[in-house]
């Protein structure tokens, strides 16, 4: 369904670009205000669109994020790569591939790389939780399916994620793991309805990866106290105030 | 009362209209004259006792007062008024502001989508908006309202926009409103002086120096998206955002109307509005409606969307959607 809809959308834009000033067929919100020009998108954007090829997974380039800093004011860099969807999401997307610049998600891990501690030690992942292993992680997440460590983590290499079809994903590709169950969310994420965009609405699309917001072991967002606006100081009172929002 | 002084003519201060007068009358007249002169001097102090800086401020303010509507200014006039405004900000408040007059990009029409499934009511958008747009701290002006709605309810009159408890609350969802930048905005039609209009990229703006404060636009807006400055807006100098736009977040005056402009100083440079950038849940989607690859177009094509008060045919470019 989705490829068909997107092709419809593109037809709409082609019609819009070719129709020029003819705004009669457009929906009201698509009509341009007086004085606006109907210049079609510039050639660079088109070139980018046509150059989208089904690519391999892996970093293409690492570029800094301009205009947005991460938690604590630290600068971010992102790996730009083609998000090729395996198994689950490919049914959702069909033949569409999306070029998404992902924020490097493994940078925020506190106990990464794993080989910093696990050097030369064989890691046994059994179908039960070991008491003295990673006590700071209390997994509550995929408990409905009776999961354990080896459900998501590769036994032979703890720095890889294990997909259900036997493939392996790196820590920078968590969406491949999440997409196995949450395919609707990943479809929305790839399209633009889910996930936070970081680097401006124009040009490069930089979005957050799944673990940037959701702790994989406890993915629900925690409640917070909302921001409270500064209170009005009623010094000279009798002047009428704009009603408080 | 007059008595002749021996030994020559009387001193000059003791004469009145050429006639010699007595000491008492002379003192009385003198005192009156000095008082009057002092009052006159006080009344005319800008003409007599102003410093060089006060004189510059006065001249700049006067030129600002007689300038025209921004909508009809030439590029040279825009550059002149920008220079004056930046100089005035430096002289009066000691801040170095940068006011831009960036024009709308061709082929861009801004659209906004709000995910009511994602919004958790954290109000980080409100905080970012206050800081970004130099909103009045004293009157606590806010462009964005976040309504806490009961699930299954869509009546904003029954919603609570002033919650302070921990969010998200059980059985509630959150819906944020701001200016919807309508395609057919009723607020611009009613302005008697043409101080508010829609820009080619869809943003409805206000010329704060042309607004007369009649508040017709506030009455015309069905979404209560405009705010009135009952006071000279107060923003602490250390919190002032120096990145400003003439039609956006520059200093407002007392008695003018202001509104959300999708952060016109940011969005016209390809950046996201402050509310979108601050949202911790990614509930806000912003982009170009004329770009078929934009996120906003994907949302409109693939999600069920609705708008508020669609029956009024104001055609807001602001959609709500769910997961």
Question: Cα B147 to the chain's mean position, in Å?
Answer: 24
- 3-state SS, A116-133, equals HCCCCCCCCCCCCCCCCC
Cβ-based contacts of B267 with chain A (< 8 Å): 201
CB contact (8 A) between residue A244 and residue B162: yes
Cβ-based contacts of B276 with chain A (< 8 Å): 197
The reply to whether B268 touches chain A by the CB within 8 Å rule is no
CB contact (8 A) between residue A196 and residue B286: no
Name the pLDDT band for A107 (thresholds 50, 70, 90): low
Each residue of A18-47: pLDDT tens digit? Answer: 444 445 555 555 555 555 544 333 333 333
| pTM for this model (two decimals) | 0.73
Cβ-based contacts of B118 with chain A (< 8 Å): 194
Which B positions 218-257 lie with beta carbon below 8 A of chain A? 227-228, 230-231
CB contact (8 A) between residue B115 and residue A12: no
Find the range with the poorest average confidence among A86-90, B37-41, B52-56, B297-301: A86-90
A-B CB pairs within 8 A amount to 175
Distance, in angstroms, between A35 CA and closest chain B CA? 6
Tell me which of B198, B217, B272, B313 to substitute to probe the interface with A (most A C-beta atoms closer than 10 Å): B272
Mean pLDDT across A205-223: 82
Distance, in angstroms, between B152 CA and closest chain A CA? 21
pLDDT surpassing 90 at residue B29: no
| CA B101 – CA B64 distance, rounded (Å) | 16
| CA A154 – CA B5 distance, rounded (Å) | 121
pLDDT surpassing 70 at residue A6: no
Which B positions 49-108 lie with beta carbon below 8 A of chain A? 104, 106-107
Nearest to A93 by CA among A171, A15, A175: A175
Which of residues B57 and A243 earns the better pLDDT score? B57
Residue A140, φ and ψ in degrees, nearest 5: -120, -5
The reply to whether B29 touches chain A by the CB within 8 Å rule is no
CB contact (8 A) between residue A194 and residue B123: no
pLDDT surpassing 90 at residue B16: no
According to the model, what pLDDT value does residue A176 have? 78
Q: A28-32, A78-82, A156-160: which has the highest mean pLDDT?
A: A156-160
According to the model, what pLDDT value does residue B85 have? 95
| Dihedral sign for Cα atoms in the order A26, A29, A30, A32 | positive
ipTM of the complex: 0.75
Residue A20: count of CB within 10 angstroms of its CB: 11
- Helix residue ranges per DSSP H, A121-196: 149-152, 174-178, 183-191
Mean per-residue pLDDT over chain A, rounded: 61
Distance, in angstroms, between A98 CA and closest chain B CA? 10
Q: Are B286 and B273 in contact (CB under 8 A)?
A: yes
Strands B15-16 and B204-206 come out as unpaired
Instruction: Tokens for B233, please give them.
Output: 């807006």
């Amino acid at each position: 369904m989705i490829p068909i809809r997107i092709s419809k959308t593109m037809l709409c834009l082609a019609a819009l670009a070719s129709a020029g000033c003819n705004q009669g067929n457009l929906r009201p919100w698509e009509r341009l205000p007086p004085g606006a020009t109907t210049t079609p998108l510039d050639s660079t954007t088109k070139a980018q669109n046509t150059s989208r090829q089904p690519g391999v997974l892996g970093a293409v380039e690492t570029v800094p994020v301009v205009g947005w800093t991460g938690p604590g004011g630290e600068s971010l860099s992102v790996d730009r790569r083609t998000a090729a969807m395996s198994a689950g999401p490919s049914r959702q997307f069909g033949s569409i591939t999306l070029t998404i610049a992902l924020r490097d998600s493994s940078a925020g891990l506190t106990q990464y790389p794993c080989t910093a501690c696990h050097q030369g030690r064989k890691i046994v992942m059994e179908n039960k939780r070991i008491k003295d292993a990673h006590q700071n992680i209390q997994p509550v997440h995929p408990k409905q399916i009776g999961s354990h460590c080896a459900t998501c983590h590769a036994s032979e290499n703890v720095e890889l994620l294990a997909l259900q079809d036997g493939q392996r994903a790196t820590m920078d590709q968590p969406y491949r793991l999440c997409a196995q169950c949450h395919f609707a969310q990943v479809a929305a994420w790839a399209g633009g309805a889910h996930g936070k965009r970081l680097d401006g609405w124009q040009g490069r699309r930089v979005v957050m990866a799944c673990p940037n917001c959701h702790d994989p072991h406890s993915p629900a967002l925690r409640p917070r106290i909302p921001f409270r606006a500064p209170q009005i100081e009623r010094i000279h009172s009798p002047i009428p105030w704009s009603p408080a929002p | 009362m007059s008595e002749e002084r021996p030994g020559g003519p009387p001193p000059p201060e003791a004469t009145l209209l050429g006639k010699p007068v007595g000491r008492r009358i002379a003192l009385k007249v003198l005192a009156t004259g000095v008082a009057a002169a002092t009052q006159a001097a006080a009344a005319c102090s800008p003409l007599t006792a102003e410093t060089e800086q006060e004189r510059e401020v006065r001249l700049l303010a006067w030129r600002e007062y007689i300038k025209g509507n921004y909508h009809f200014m030439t590029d040279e006039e825009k550059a002149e008024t920008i220079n004056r405004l930046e100089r005035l900000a430096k002289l009066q408040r000691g801040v170095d502001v940068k006011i831009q007059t960036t024009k709308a990009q061709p082929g861009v029409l801004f659209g906004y989508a709000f995910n009511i499934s994602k919004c958790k009511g954290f109000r980080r958008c409100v905080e970012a908006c206050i800081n970004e747009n130099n909103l009045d701290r004293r009157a606590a002006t806010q462009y964005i309202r976040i309504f806490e709605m009961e699930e299954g309810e869509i009546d904003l009159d029954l919603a609570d926009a002033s919650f302070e408890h921990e969010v998200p609350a059980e059985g509630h969802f959150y819906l944020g409103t701001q200016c919807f930048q309508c395609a057919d905005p009723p607020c611009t039609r009613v302005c008697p002086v043409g101080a508010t209009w829609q820009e080619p990229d869809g943003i409805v703006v206000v010329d704060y120096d042309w607004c007369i404060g009649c508040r017709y636009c506030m009455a015309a807006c069905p979404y209560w998206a405009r705010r009135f400055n009952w006071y000279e807006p107060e923003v602490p100098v250390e919190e002032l955002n120096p990145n400003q736009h003439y039609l956006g977040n520059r200093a407002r005056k007392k008695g003018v109307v202001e509104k959300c402009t999708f952060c016109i100083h940011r969005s016209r440079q390809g950046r996201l509005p402050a509310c979108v950038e601050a949202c911790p849940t990614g509930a806000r989607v912003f982009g170009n409606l004329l770009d078929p690859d934009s996120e906003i177009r994907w949302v409109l094509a693939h999600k069920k969307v609705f708008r508020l008060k669609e029956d009024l045919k104001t055609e807001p470019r602001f959609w709500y959607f769910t997961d």
